[in-house]
Structure 1
Amino acid sequence: MNTVQLERMKNDKGFIAALDQSGGSTPKALANYGIAQDAYKDEAEMFQLVHEMRTRIMKSTAFTKEKILAAILFENTMDLKVDGQYSADYLWETKGIVPILKVDKGLADLENGVQLMKPIPNLETLLARAQERHIFGTKMRSVIKEVNEAGIKAIVKQQFEIAKVIIAAGFVPIIEPEVDIHTVNKQAAEDILKKELIEQLKSLTPDQKVMFKLTIPEVDSFYEVLADHPNVVRVVALSGGYSREEANSKLSRNRKLIASFSRALTEGLNANQSDAEFDQMIGQSIQSIYEASIQP
């Protein structure tokens, strides 16, 4: 583990840019960027186009370490280059931004009101590649859609089981049990989730560190107790379908919670924008998300 990167993640101001759209979410991300599905004929062309979008974001003059702590990459992106450097090396060596890798393989079918992660085959092999590519941490997502204690308990248990494998390989895992923003009685689901997260943290040894990526809660500063836990490096928030304006407004009322936005970060970007227009748009986005992330 890179201790300089660890200290940056623990203590510096800023937020995490989520650039990890996967096979399922990439067509929508490209469409929002102004690239229709008839612009590519297969998955390889699709991922090349989204890499070009991500590269443009990473190379933007507005995408700086002063505002961006880290960036989450898709597995495909990890093995591609930006200006002759592998993506993670470009982020850290050129930009001073910590590289994180999405490792989950998507969601299982709904059961007990939740979607667990699908199995992650060859996780050890992926982590070995991530070491070679100088990745700092990982991210894995599951989703809570109903207030169901058994389901939420199962999600947290699965997340921590895999997190311990990732920690043993030398990474800091981001545990992401998203609560769908449309969940009926969302606060009740968050009550159960926080209780289970605190319980599972008891199973960690003092040197085992994790991060959490959570939906912005109904009760302001609800997850501050997690941010203060000695095993927790940082607690970050997903935008979860909220517009950037609404996500920023909600986030700004939560102490010790910083953004890890994807769609809200890229909102308003378009492939047809000039570089100046693109930099201005993402610069405004980054500034607003940064300001929402540095509340007292």
Structure 2
Amino acid sequence: MDRRTFLKTAGAGVAGAACISTVADARPNLEPAPEAVGMLYDSTLCVGCKACVTACKEVNDMTPVDRGDGHIYDSALDLSGDTLNVIKVYSDGTAAVKDSEENGFAFEKRSCMHCVDPGCVSVCPVTAMRRDPLTGIVTHHPDACIGCRTCMVGCPYNVPQFEYDNAFGRIHKCQMCNQEGLERINKGGMTACAEVCPTGATLFGPRSMLMEEAKRRMELKSGDNYNFPRGDISKPESYHEKELEADYQNHIWGEKEAGGTNVLHISAIAFDKLGMPPLEDRSYASVSEGVQHTLYKYMALPAAAMAGLTYVVKRNKDNHDGEE
């Protein structure tokens, strides 16, 4: 092959690959599962009793975290391999008034958000993280897990936690009480945290009904009386009547963030002050998968160009050897 032919052939292949691989389109966000279930956490109703933390530990057979300060209840400060659900506190100034951003305090719950388009499921290379196609519940399956901990990077809420103090450690996260061997939801029950919550701050039920309830509460004003359902919103056994002491933020966390979540949060305090991450409506999974699939698809172009060049070089070499 002469120099001119080689450069012309290589240039055409490179130019074609460059032109076609400049843009990678993200796929659309996944839609909520057809029978999606979840929870609604109302920060204004939470009294910080941590009954939900204790119940979570009991059903998951986890021991309380004792910081050695004399507490007789679980005193975990954050999620870990021993804690799948925790109540955190926002405070400002004197912290004298509940649900006030100035000189006030508020409670916030941390557990798996069970994303509609979960990043942990998207990045897991062995399908150890799975999203139930019917209920949308995101579960971890240790029998398939290889311990790569990629799910920890793929979650914007820092939910999956690894047991670093265990030689045979594994990933732990809230399974919405529906993991193998428990399966409260499949048996018609509810999550343990919602079942024991005395005020209805954690409410279980179909995502669509929880969204409607959250929007009704957005219309309430401080001073209004409201009967807050407790337990399962689709079949509440009791209500908690309470006068609203602070106006809600006009924001349902999880309605749109990163494609939406099955666990929704509402509050009188801005969510950035409660420690929620800044998220766009587009899910991380939809963007990363779009880029990856586009790159993988167009990697075939330079491979094809190289194969063509190899064939031309070999053909010319064979012709040259035959002439000798």
- Higher gyration radius (CA): 2
The question of a shared fold, defined as TM-score above 0.5 by the shorter chain, is answered with: no
TM-score between the two structures when normalised by the length of structure 2? 0.27
Higher helix share: 1
Structure number with higher relative contact order (C-alpha < 8 Å, ≥ 6 residues apart): 2
